[in-house]
Structure 1
Amino acid sequence: MSSEIGANIRRERDRLRWSQARLAREVCRAAGIAGEPVGRQEVSRWETGKRTPREWLPFLAAALGVTVDTLSTPQKPAVPPLPTLADFLPEEDPLSPLESRTGRRVGIGTVDELQQRVHGLRLADDVLAGGDLIRPALRDLRRVVKLYRESTHTSDVGWQLLRQIGELAQIAGWIASDAGQHEEAERIYRLGISAARQAEDHTLAGNLAGSLAYQMSNTGREAEGLILAQAAFRDSQAEAPPKARALYLDRVAWAHTKAGGTENGQQAVRALGEAGQALSEDSEGTESPAYLYWVDAGELRVMESRVYTELHRPLRAVPLLREVLSGYDATHTREMALYLSWLAVALADANEPEEAAAVAERVIFLVTDTPSARVAERVRVILGRLQNYADVPEVAALLAEHPAA
């Protein structure tokens, strides 16, 4: 605490452009004490945390013209505003090639380098949150759009560049959504859909549309999310490999779940079954896009457990979540926290508040200082659900310790 107070004293002194000696004199004046019982060296000890001001704190606050709380409360570091896609792209149609191209000629080697960069960003998203990645993701997206518009290239390379714009937009949109920038994510997804359609890559367009539908379903636009998720599956399934169809159907299942109602619940369970059937058709000889590397039976079980949790069927959800979490990669902290959050809610639904509180505590521990809006929202959901058990000692202790979590 003394180091935090010291940093605050230094900040306020710098704001006034005072020397340490000047502050020492002003503190004595504020205390109404003649002479200099507080000198420059004492102020230095306070600022470096070697000594705590204690009884001098009110006089320090008065001298600096701030409250005692301002000096004693840890200050959050200033965070620059998150960039938006508009900061990185031209105002006109961003996918319209310039009539007079002054850039260098690019070939398939450049496309290969971009593919590696995009995949590296996907892998980074496995272990980092959206708030950490949105700046490099948008810089990369701007760079690829600029390259497409300004360089000279063959038609085939142009199509490949459009695909890379689409793939990069998919991961950048996901990152922006995780950072809580939902309007920005939608703009990015729509840019990607346009690029994928121009490249005639219907599988990629379906993936982007499904990602946007997923965001809509999670941000109060359930009806739109359901319509878009169904359209993404319907328009893309003919050319999509099994993994892609399974993913589209997973999103349809979630969209039905979020839409609510008995019929939608039944449709959600039916879509889960169809997703499993689609994935079972995947084999070693089946080629899938690199961006589907994470789609497997485990991920389908995660969605299945989430659907059953949302439908308040904890007897189905809890065993599935325990199975998934038992073998999950602990380095994927955000996903681990998200899956645990669903387990906490399912346990609360199963009338196991003590265990739900223990899981919630683990979620909060895992995501401390993680800049993910998804995780923050899930923590709020858990604590809200546990309010029904506020008289249970373990829950009461959790709510008291994390009132603003």
Structure 2
Amino acid sequence: METVRERHPLTVVLKHRRWTATSFLRQVADRHSKLGYGGMASRREKVSRWISGTATPGITSQYAMAHLLQVPRGEVDARGWPDWLLLAIRDDRTILESPWTPAGSVTVLREVGGPVDRRGFLIASTGTLAAMVAQWGTAEPASAATQVGRRISSEVATQLDVRLAALRHLDDELGGGHVYDAATTEIRIIRRLLAETTHSEQVGRRLYSAAAEACRLAGWCAYDSGYHAEAERQFVAALRAAGSAGDTTTGATVHAFWANARYTGGDPRGALHLLEAALASAGVISSPRVIAMLYARKARAHSVAGEATASYRAVDQALAAYSKAGAPAEDLPAVYWVTAGELHQAAGSAALALGEPKRALVHFGEAVRDASAGEIGTGGHRGDSAIHLARRAEAHLALGELDAAVEVAERVLELMGGVESARGSSTLAELRGGLREHQDAAVVRSFLGLTA
């Protein structure tokens, strides 16, 4: 996948309309005048400042833009800059506005089954996110057999589950960059089965559940590769498909992965909204591991928001939920990786974000000692293992323990070999940046020199 990403909605609007900054500003200035707002300067550097975030267009300039882009003026006021620009990106409208019905889910699956959307920003504003969460609770599950083509049996759904399990484990070894295309192939297959075959209501619901998991996996792969717009499109599609399946547990899993994208994207409040909505259905979630995962993500979201008490409370709730879990074989196949070690890794990351490296190392140590998680407590996912170890190295750095930090950093490099993960590469770059602050120490200087 390419590493160049479009991070601002205005960049995407200009690209899709094939406008230069100058031609765009000229048209906006013309609308500004015709709408009665007076003259408007159209120096092209305005656009670069708007995209970089060093300046925000005045409200009348935004109204003129909205008029040009055919976005209702009320949306400018309701969503704010730059979120309202997302409504001008036509290919997102079907994803965000289709009805929460089985037919609507099939329509959305058609939209997300293609090549990766390479934009690097999240597509849902705070208001849109809240609407999605509310609609999830009222989604209409499939309630009748479908009669449109050749009949398929439950064996087809079983084979799809087997294929998706294989992709999850392939992602563990290779990272999202290698698995995304395979996941979207599964989406296309499942959509065609939903739309073009005769099947019972039970089989139909299993197909929608498989679609939800395929989209969830594709969303994770896109997120892992740094394509946040595509990740969110896939998570929306996954949530819709889970609603059509009447599958609360898979829907809760989608909420957890989507929340991860929100808090790492700088929106811990949006992440908490997703997690609290999922936890409101805890009584009907069939997997203790899913509940534990939701609380672990809640701990991370609170830590990003700087809310230590709430974060540590969520850690305790995650561990308590996990204590009720049975063997992985008895649980939802998609959460085999949720172990006590994984939960301690999340707790350690939360403590590190809250400025408590000693507390973080206690949790990282517990992760290593967790027998079910193996050496590093991430259920076998090499990219995540590397990221967790990098955080452990950061904790040692924060305490001035340079030998320990370098020892862990060497293990990070070993794990990252052959894994295509933008998250992992970014984490490694941040770790090297932290080490460079201590390059006067021989052990650090040697490591940086060998890994330049």
Residue in 2 that maps onto 1:280: 323
For 1:284 and 1:139, the matched residues in 2 are separated by 31
**Partner in structure 2 of residue 391 of structure 1:** 440
Equivalences for residues 372-383 of structure 1 within 5 A: 372-383=421-432
Long gaps (5+) in structure 1:
1-85
How many residues are paired up? 311
Q: What SS does structure 2 have at the residue aligned with 1:282?
A: coil
Tell me by how many angstroms 1:113 deviates: 0.7
Letter in 2 for 1:218: T
Q: Do the aligned partners of 2:174 and 2:418 also contact (CA within 8 Å) in 1?
A: no
**Superposition deviation, residue 267 in structure 1:** 0.4
**In the alignment, is residue 209 of structure 1 matched against residue 255 of structure 2?**
yes
Alpha-carbon distance in structure 2 between the residues aligned to 1:117 and 1:361: 34
Q: Which amino acid aligns with 1:375?
A: G
Amino acid at match of 1:125: D
Q: How does 1:124-163 map to 2 (within 5 A)?
A: 124-163=170-209
Partner Cα separation in structure 2 for residue 295 and residue 238 of structure 1: 19
Shift of 1:287: 5.2
Deviation (angstroms), 1:286: 10
Deviation >6 Å, runs of 4+: 89-92
Contact 2:153–2:203 (8 Å) recurs in 1? yes
Query: Where does residue 358 of structure 1 map in the other structure?
Result: 407
Structure 2 gap segments, 5+ residues each: 1-90, 99-103, 111-145
CA distance change for structure 1 residues 358 and 328 in 2, over 3 Å: closer, same or farther?
Answer: closer
Question: Among residues 375, 379, 391, which one is paired with 1:328 in the alignment?
Answer: 375
Question: 1:325, 1:336 within 8 Å by CA — same for their partners in 2?
Answer: no
Distance 1:331 1:283 in 2: 19
Amino acid across the alignment from 1:134: Y
Corresponding residue for 1:194? 240
Alignment partners' CA distance in 2, 1:368 and 1:362: 10
- Deviation by residue 1:341-366 (Cα, 9 ceiling, x = unmatched): 11110101111123212322331243
Structure 2 CA distance for partners of 1:246 and 1:366, relative to 1, 3 Å: closer
Q: Does the 8 Å contact 1:314/1:347 carry over to 2?
A: yes
Query: How far apart are the structure 2 equivalents of 1:230 and 1:387?
Result: 40
Shift of 1:160: 1.1
Cα distance between partner residues in 2 of 1:186 and 1:258: 19
Equivalent residue for 2:416? 367
Match 1:349 to one of 373, 376, 398: 398
Partner of 2:335: 292
Q: For the residues of structure 2 that align with 1:331 and 1:280, how far apart are their CA atoms?
A: 21
Instruction: Give the alignment's TM-score, normalised by structure 1.
Output: 0.70
Greater Cα radius of gyration, structure 1 or 2: 1
* 1:371-395 deviation line (CA, Å, top 9, x unaligned): 1011012112212322332322222
Partner of 2:120: none
The two structures, once aligned, show a CA RMSD in angstroms of: 2.8
- For 2:329 and 2:288, the matched residues in 1 are separated by 8
* Structure 1 letter corresponding to 2:394: V
Percent of pairs with identical residues: 30
Matched with 1:239 is 284
- Residue equivalent to 1:29: none
Partner AA of 2:256 in structure 1: G
Could you tell me whether the CA contact under 8 Å between 2:105 and 2:240 is conserved in 1? no
Question: If the length of structure 2 is used for normalisation, what is the TM-score?
Answer: 0.63
Matches of 2:346 and 2:240 in 1, distance apart? 28
